[in-house]
Amino acid sequence: CSFFIILDQPHRSKIFVGINTHTTAAIVAQDISINMSAEEVANAFVNHFYQTFDSGVDALAGLYNPQSMLTFEGQQVQGSENIIGKLKAVGTVKHTVKTIDIQPSSSQNSIVIFVTGAIQIGGDNPLHFCEFFHLCSTGPGQYYVHNDVFRLNYGL
């Protein structure tokens, strides 16, 4: 499974199409000219990731695969099912993204993303967080999260 993105070229607006769980979706994505920059892919991913996390963590499962790894506050878990279990254990959350830093990775087929922001857990006061994602391509315009590292930032 992976997510895929289609860019509406005439209007330059990003359209998140959905989680690719069917061959048909992959064919649709391949038939459309996908010429997005790392920044466009990353921004679309970040918006989708946090909106989905805040409304229903289970829907994030398709972004991860069996090789995906999450390090959450120093604890490592691997595989989509384990990652979703860990994220669900956090409870009800609301994210506010403040910054997004994006770089193409060593391969043309991957992107690294560093996000900072605030997270409210269960309605408590917001805490600062940072999160790192390594997205890897599975085909034209299709990516999965290979690495995800999350940390809360406490006052120093």
pLDDT tens digits for range 9-26: 343 333 344 444 433 333
Residue 6 vs residue 99, higher pLDDT: 99
Half-sphere exposure of 21 (CA within 13 A, CB side): 8
Can you spell out the DSSP letters for 23-58?
A: HHHHHHHHHS-----HHHHHHHHHHHHHHHHHH-GG
Q: Is 64 exposed, middle or buried (0-12, 13-18, 19+ CB in 10 A)?
A: buried
The burial of 75, by beta-carbon neighbours within 10 Å (0-12 exposed, 13-18 middle, 19 or more buried), is given as: exposed
Q: For 122-152, write each residue's pLDDT tens digit.
A: 989 999 999 999 999 988 878 999 999 999 9
Largest CA distance in the chain: 51
pTM (2 d.p.): 0.81
Residue 2 has pLDDT above 60, yes or no: no
Query: What is the pLDDT at residue 3?
Result: 57
Contact criterion met (CB below 8 Å) for 112 and 102? yes
Q: What is the pLDDT of residue 94?
A: 97
Give the residue-averaged pLDDT of 96-117. Answer: 93
- Which is more confident, 91 or 2? 91
Q: How far apart are CA 112 and CA 31, in angstroms?
A: 26
